[in-house]
Every structure is written in structure tokens, then in C-alpha cells.
Structure 1
Amino acid sequence: MTPAFTDPAARRRWDAYFSEVDRLLARADADVAEMRGDLEAHVVDSMAAASGGNEGERLDVALSRLGRPIDYLRPLLADEMIERGTRTYSPITIARGLSYAIMAGSRRAVIGLAFGLGYLLLAIFTGMALLKPLWGEHVGVFRHPDGTVSAGIVAQSDGARELLGWWSIPIALLLAALLYVALTKGLRTIRQRR
């Protein structure tokens, strides 16, 4: 829906603006054609509504009203990626959506960091389950001689008694699965409230 510009400077400005839009959309694996088409239509409508001036001035006004692509695309891409990730249970898509949400603003950053920490805890449980057979004397739940208890991947386990043994593998996997489902459903619930 690119307008036929008579001013080459306006054409260059249009191309530069939408090449940045394309770059941001391509990194996010978003539906580039649909989102770009919507943005182009919005800019063309805004140019048509502007009064006076040549097409370069009207384009500058329309683009300044819209703002920098990174400022308004981050929240949109975060929402789209989190939506897609919660439908497909894809951890990579969810992580990318959370990273965009963190960069998008304060409320989104708090929510993104909270869920990011939850997914980090999930990765720790999964790591425990995978490392137990390889590094069993340092993975599990330990009671130290002084009475303290430590859990996870522990560097200093000398003299400590391992409480769960091989049961730490299924327990860690069960906790990881439950946490993954809970976090993903939580993200879906937050998305539906908006």
C-alpha cells in the first residue's frame, strides 16, 4: 500500500521508516505482511487527513504522530509472542515475548521479570533432574552437619547427608512440569484480562 511519491526525499523517508519496521518484525517472527500493511494504511490515512504542505511534510507529520517503530512495536510484539507461546507452550517464544515485555515499560517489566524468574526456577529444576545422574553427590536436597538444609546444585556438599536420593529426579521433573503449566496458564490469564 505504498503511495506513489513524487518527492524522492519523502520516498527515502518512507523506505527508511518501514525498513526499521520490517527489521523489528522479522526479529520477532511476527506476521510481517499483515502488521506492515496495517501500519502503512494508518500512515497513508494520516497523510490524507493532514492539511496543507507537500507530501514530505505530511509524511513527516504522520510518522511523528505514529512515533518510533521500536516504541510502539515492542508492546505489540510482546503481546503477540506471549499469546502465541501460551497457545503452543513454546518456551523460546515465551522467553522472547517476555524479553520484549521487559523492554516495553515498567508494568510490563515487573510482570516480565516475575515470570522470567519463574521460568528460571523451572530451568533449575530441569537442570537438577538432568545433572543428578552425572553429578549426584552435588545435586539434591542436603542436610549439613550444622542442621542447615540446602537444595539444588550445591558445590559444597562434603559431610552433608542427601535426603531424597534418586527421588530428586522425578520430584524435580514434576515440579518443573507443574511450574511450567502454572506459569504458562498465568500468562494466558493475564493476557485475557487486557
Structure 2
Amino acid sequence: MKFKEIVFTDAEAQRVYASYIKRIRHVLKNLLPADSEEILMEFNSHIYESIESRGDASELKSLLDATDKLGDPELVLKPLVADKMLDKATRSFNPLDVLKALMLNITNGISYIIFAILYLFLGAFIFMILAKLANEEVGLYFKNDQFVALGFVKNTSNYQEVLGYWFIPLMLLAAFLFYIAITLLLRLKKSFLKRN
């Protein structure tokens, strides 16, 4: 089924309706088209039913009553959009979708703050790669066959850097694997919440 706009005889009611639908579309713009369409049709259905059962009230009054009951799309849809964005992000593994989903969910609990911090930690891998390109004293250091440091060591005379420029692909691989692991954990958390 496809979304179909309601046609009003009252021009003012048509303008108010078009504005409300535009606000809903704006809130839903980052969702998958199917999810966006489903939510839009649900809101439209509520408006249509309210208009059809208006009795003696004018179209405009019925429409305003319906939109008041539904609420501001920016507030009412925020939790639903956050949930749908999280679904989309954990399925697509797209970093931008993950970032948007976390920003929308950041107020929904401490676990989302922890996930945001874990994703920010990925920046450390990128920073170390760039630092290695600028300074050869960045790497994986051992002393007496024991791990000492990962990163920058000022005085390298007593330490052995074991990776050389293999440090860069290793950090890229580590960042990729860390990203996949965090996103899978986020997906697991999401599926756990759905079951409860």
C-alpha cells in the first residue's frame, strides 16, 4: 500500500494538513523508505479516521483536534525514529548510520553512552596510523621479549619496535575488527531489548 494524501475541501485545512505531513516527512528522512512510508501511513490513517468521524465539526477543527491528539512529530516520533535508525545501523554497518542512531539514542540509557565511547575509541586507531606516518617512534614496543607499549615512546633506545611499517595495516585491521565487534554487540543489545 502506498501513502495517499487526504484531500480537503477547506483550503486552510489542506494547508495545515500539508504542513503537518511535511513535518512528519522531515523527521523520518533518515529512515529506510519502507519504514518511513509505514509510519506516515499510520499517522495519515489516524487523521483520516478523525476527519471521517467529525460529526458537525468543520474539517479544520477536526484536523486540528487530530493533530493535537497525535502530537508534535518532532517529539512523538523521536523514540520510534531512534529505534528504527538503530535497526538500520546494525544491519548496514554504515558508520554514518551508527553515528546518527547513537546520537538519537544517547538519552535512552547509559549503555548507549558506553557504545558511543567505544566508537570514539576507534579514533585512537586512526590517530596512531597518522602518528606513525609522521613519526617513526610510534609502534608496538617490546623490551626483553615482553610487551611494553602500543603507541609513542620517546626514548626508544632500550625498546624494540617489532612491526615497523606493518604497524599501519595492523592498526587498520584492528580498527575494522573492533568496529565489527562493537556493532555486533549493539545488534545483540537491540535484539535483547526487543525480546523483553
TM-score bracket for the superposition, by shorter chain length? 0.7 to 0.9
Task: Please name the residue that 1:96 is paired with.
Answer: 100
With over 3 angstroms needed to count, the CA separation of the structure-2 counterparts of 1:67 and 1:111, relative to structure 1, is farther
- 1:55 pairs with 2:59: yes
- 1:64 pairs with 2:68: yes
Task: State which of 75, 80, 83 in structure 2 corresponds to 1:79.
Answer: 83
Distance in 1 (alpha carbons) for counterparts of 2:58 and 2:139: 71
State the identity %. Answer: 29
TM-score (norm 1): 0.75
Does structure 2 retain, via aligned residues, the 8 Å contact 1:47–1:61? Answer: no
Return the letter of the residue paired with 1:191: K
C-alpha deviation, 1:170, in angstroms: 5.3
Distance in 2 (alpha carbons) for counterparts of 1:135 and 1:114: 31
Task: State which of 8, 17, 20 in structure 1 corresponds to 2:11.
Answer: 8
| Long gaps (5+) in structure 1 | 144-148
Aligned length: 180
Does structure 2 retain, via aligned residues, the 8 Å contact 1:125–1:173? Answer: yes
With over 3 angstroms needed to count, the CA separation of the structure-2 counterparts of 1:174 and 1:163, relative to structure 1, is farther
- 1:183 pairs with 2:185: no
Distance in 1 (alpha carbons) for counterparts of 2:85 and 2:10: 37
Return the letter of the residue paired with 2:24: V
Distance in 2 (alpha carbons) for counterparts of 1:163 and 1:59: 74
Does structure 1 retain, via aligned residues, the 8 Å contact 2:31–2:84? Answer: no
Task: Please name the residue that 1:19 is paired with.
Answer: 22
Does structure 2 retain, via aligned residues, the 8 Å contact 1:89–1:184? Answer: yes
Does structure 1 retain, via aligned residues, the 8 Å contact 2:13–2:63? Answer: yes
Listed one character per residue, the Cα deviations across residues 10-41 of structure 1 (whole Å, up to 9, x for unaligned) are 11111111111222222x15314443223212
Where do residues 115-126 of structure 1 align in structure 2 (5 Å cutoff)?
Answer: 115-126=115-126
| Long gaps (5+) in structure 2 | 143-147
Return the letter of the residue paired with 1:100: L
With over 3 angstroms needed to count, the CA separation of the structure-2 counterparts of 1:22 and 1:169, relative to structure 1, is same
Listed one character per residue, the Cα deviations across residues 130-155 of structure 1 (whole Å, up to 9, x for unaligned) are 44133333x44689xxxxx8755x6x
SS of the residue aligned with 1:62?
helix
Distance in 2 (alpha carbons) for counterparts of 1:64 and 1:160: 68
Distance in 2 (alpha carbons) for counterparts of 1:175 and 1:87: 21
With over 3 angstroms needed to count, the CA separation of the structure-2 counterparts of 1:140 and 1:8, relative to structure 1, is same
